[in-house]
Structure 1
């Protein structure tokens, strides 16, 4: 192995070309990709299709650099969400001037991809009017494995686990779509108590439905605002002056802990609160937690607290909704808030700014809830929990695979662990 071998010795590193907006678009010709095309969901390694094409006339006018298939591309400017995406071209493609392409000459192309994926490019951004990654830095990256057979072996191992990751992500996407479809049906048609099946649609059996503020719902269902069915409270306000006040230290949930349908308790902070006030902030089993604000798709998301941490409190940007269980089941409420009906309400009634939105307690109390009998609420919960179980196991598997891949990359790409040939 030669310690002196650098990426620029085994690959061609180039920046992309500028494409004036008037030339962007098209449906045929030479594909070109932009930074926004890099932010694909999941663990996709390849760019299969472009959103923009250059016809022959425009190509002859602009004369952009054309990168061959198997070139690894990445953003050289922008936020870390873009900088740390790597994609492999599947056909000859032009790339814009905010992207950089690395084309293998005497290195295995797939090994090149994983080598670049293992590096945090955000650490190499150079300061300036437009912070970016310098081409010479990429060219100077060391090549830890120089034997082509070893490179192929490492690529095959990592590609195999990536294929498992892709398959698992596809399952998660499938179950998520199934759940959304189930929610749309269950919260508009409900479950017939005799047949235990979905009621016929309104168009098929209008006699089974009646008009409500939420539209046509099954007879026997009523609509109440959340304030009539639950108590709603804000939490601890951070930054208060507690000088001279007797305090206790308590764990508390932040916005970051309340995710979309689950809790992220990997980091739970503690805060000092007045001893006399501590009890009123303590969460109880079955409390539904809803964030005050965030991205549009996360507004009003409901996550059920099940006393995962004893004597845990919540901050003021996390609402605690405590359902009156004689009228409303807390799991049903959490599902209802995440349903198309819930999302529609929160988006329409939120205070909105660029990419963010927020709701206040008054709007939350006015949130309309379609309320079948407690028995039917439980049946609806059960149907949704069945698909949630499949989602949860698939997400656990994805987490394990990603951890396994990270370990393999650390072992194989550094040259520290012997690689069989």
Structure 2
């Protein structure tokens, strides 16, 4: 059984405080690793990017680091001493009979109550008192080791799955670079590199590409379009069954396809605005927040003005274009302008060029990348299921 109690009964809380920026550096082997918020949180412990020579508040090894500002409730384990800024707090158990890992899980299992408190404040944040008054379930001492052992099994599986996902991501990035610069031969095998077979390549404004490939304006091999937002003050323009891709769908992009949208508009809304319907198979790309994210429409949909949309001609495979845009994401991010919301101006896309292999080679390249993405997607789904199982198991173990 578990005992319900307040956090203050079994732990102390150290709220973070931002140090003087004059003492914060990108690297200093004599300074303490510095965490301003949860941006440097990892799966278990942080990976700090900055260091502080005069810390004001510190977390000790074994402390539970928790985000106290949006997003509230993210948790990591301090694997060393850290200087902590005002976006974090360090939770320090009073007794050593609970392992740091189990205590981290106990905090994670009860963080929803903190999130609810934060959402009720003007600025999404929680105070020291909110933490100390948090209700938690603590297992009786004779169950601690059993619960630790049970959680270890699933956490090892989760860790192994994350390693597989990291390897697949690295493989995908390598394939993107190789396949979109070297392509494949008639047998579907990757061409030798330029260094190994320079006679197979030509120098272009996009770099060295196979001699069989062309360089083309994207506008010459695809029909470019965009979208619009109907008047939000006219109810009949909204919720009319037309899927409408907007910035609210950013999390759904970069997963090859997009099939559902956060908002819908109506055909009346399309008729009374500059919005247009884009056909199934159209490739869309965000040119504002979430710059460079892309996807392929699985249905006829409309998009907001924050998106570009391309309907491919017979010379261009839409999956090839999707992967080309994925590879070029750093380019889009670098040319984005604007301080409040970065954006890519429309003139950029009028002169945007891509390499164009034969359609059969595009299909072969796309098939290889799609297979890799399928393996990656399967592992990500597996990880999501494992984490849900862990959360459910954790609640059962702690509350029953």
**Contact between 1:28 and 1:53, CA under 8 Å: does it hold in 2?**
no
How far residue 209 of structure 1 moved from its aligned partner, in angstroms, is: 1.7
The equivalences for 1:212-231 within 5 A come to: 212-231=204-223
Per-residue CA deviations over 1:202-251 (Å, capped at 9, x if unaligned) read 23332222232212211121111111111122234321776999x96433
Per-residue deviation at 1:105? 2.2
| Secondary structure at 2:243 match in 1 | strand
The partner residue of 2:325 within 331, 334, 337 is 337
Counterpart-to-counterpart distance in 2, 1:68 and 1:276: 57
The residue that corresponds to 2:169 in the other structure is 176
Q: Evaluate the alpha carbon distance shift between residue 196 and residue 2 of structure 1 in structure 2; reply closer, same or farther with a 3 A threshold.
A: closer
Is the counterpart of residue 103 in structure 1 residue 89 in structure 2?
Answer: no
- Partner deviation per Cα, 1:83-108 (whole Å, 9 max, x = no partner): 32212122345544553222112351
In the alignment, which residue of structure 2 is the partner of 1:402? 387
Distance change (3 Å), C-alpha of 1:208 and 1:51: same
Preserved contact between residue 294 and residue 358 of structure 1 (Cα < 8 Å): yes
The yes-or-no answer on 1:370 pairing with 2:355 is yes
- Quick one: distance in 1 between partners of 2:82 and 2:332? 42
What is the CA-CA distance between 1:361 and the residue it aligns to?
4.2
User: Residue in 1 aligned with 2:103?
Assistant: 112
> Using a 3 Å threshold, how does the CA distance of structure 1 residues 292 and 96 change in structure 2: closer, same or farther?
closer
Whole-Å Cα distance in 2 between the matches of residues 244 and 126 of structure 1?
A: 31
Q: Secondary structure of 2:223's match?
A: strand
Deviates more, 1:258-267 or 1:111-120: 258-267
Q: Mean Cα displacement is larger for which, 399-408 or 23-32?
A: 23-32
Higher mean alpha-carbon deviation, 93-102 vs 381-390, is at: 93-102
1:291 aligns with 2:286: yes
In 1, distance between residues paired with 2:221 and 2:118?
52
Whole-angstrom distance in 2 between the partners of 1:242 and 1:125:
33
- Structure 2 segments unaligned to the other structure (5+ residues): none
Distance 1:146 1:272, change over 3 A: same
Which residue number corresponds to residue 260 of structure 1? 254
Question: Over residues 121-160 of structure 1, what are the superposed CA-to-partner deviations in whole Å (9 max), with x where a residue is unaligned?
Answer: 3433499998753323322223423412334433443343
- 1: CA distance, partners of 2:262 / 2:367: 30
Distance 2:362 2:122 in 1: 57
Q: Deviations over 1:298-342 (max 9, x none)?
A: 41x3312233xxx543333333311002x1111111111111xx2
Question: Does structure 1 conserve the Cα–Cα contact (< 8 Å) formed by 2:14 and 2:89?
Answer: yes
Which residue number in structure 1 is paired with residue 374 of structure 2?
389
* Contact kept in structure 2, 1:223 and 1:368, CA below 8 Å: yes
**Residue aligning to 2:307:** 318
TM-score by length of 1: 0.79
- Cα distance in structure 2, aligned partners of 1:291 and 1:124: 34
In the alignment of these two chains, the number of paired residues is 390
How far apart, in 2, do the equivalents of 1:250 and 1:143 lie? Answer: 45
CA distance in 1, matches of 2:357, 2:85: 54
Q: Is the 8 A contact 1:288 1:305 kept in 2?
A: yes
Structure having the higher Rg: 1
Query: Normalization by structure 2: what TM-score?
Result: 0.83
Let me know the Cα RMSD of the aligned residues.
3.5
- Equivalent in the alignment of 2:74: 85
Counterparts of 2:5 and 2:124, CA distance in 1: 27
Match of 2:135 among 130, 142, 147: 142
